[in-house]
Amino acid sequence: MSRDKWQQLAAARELLGLGERATVREVKQAYRRLSKEHHPDTANPATENERVAMHELTTAYQTLLRHCEQYPIPLRREESDQPVDGEDWWMDRFGQDPLWGKGGK
């Protein structure tokens, strides 16, 4: 994933007040909580700032949900992240399988 995508995720996570790891449920709860405060229909009085804030919240929410659907991994880039060896990845997932693992016939 590109640096720009990580920066978008970090900004979205920060805007919604989430930690470095968050479940889809936590993302939805944070969005609902903040949207109650900033939605133009419930804000008293509704201002252009509330509309802008709601738009930013919705964009952040959609960014995080899209990421969570595609990548069930942390919402923060680790500097120590190293590329995973293909064979290690395969063995992690299918190593015990008698058909696909090394112990297969």
- The model's pTM is 0.60
Residues of the chain falling short of pLDDT 70? 1, 43-46, 71-84, 89-105
CA distance 32 to 61: 10
For residue 78, what are its two tokens?
A: 């680790």
23-49 pLDDT tens trace:
888 899 999 999 888 887 776 666 778
Domains of the chain: 3-94 (1.10.287.110)
In terms of DSSP H, where are the helices of the chain?
3-15, 24-38, 48-70, 86-94
pLDDT confidence of residue 41: 77
For residue 93, what are its two tokens?
A: 């997932």
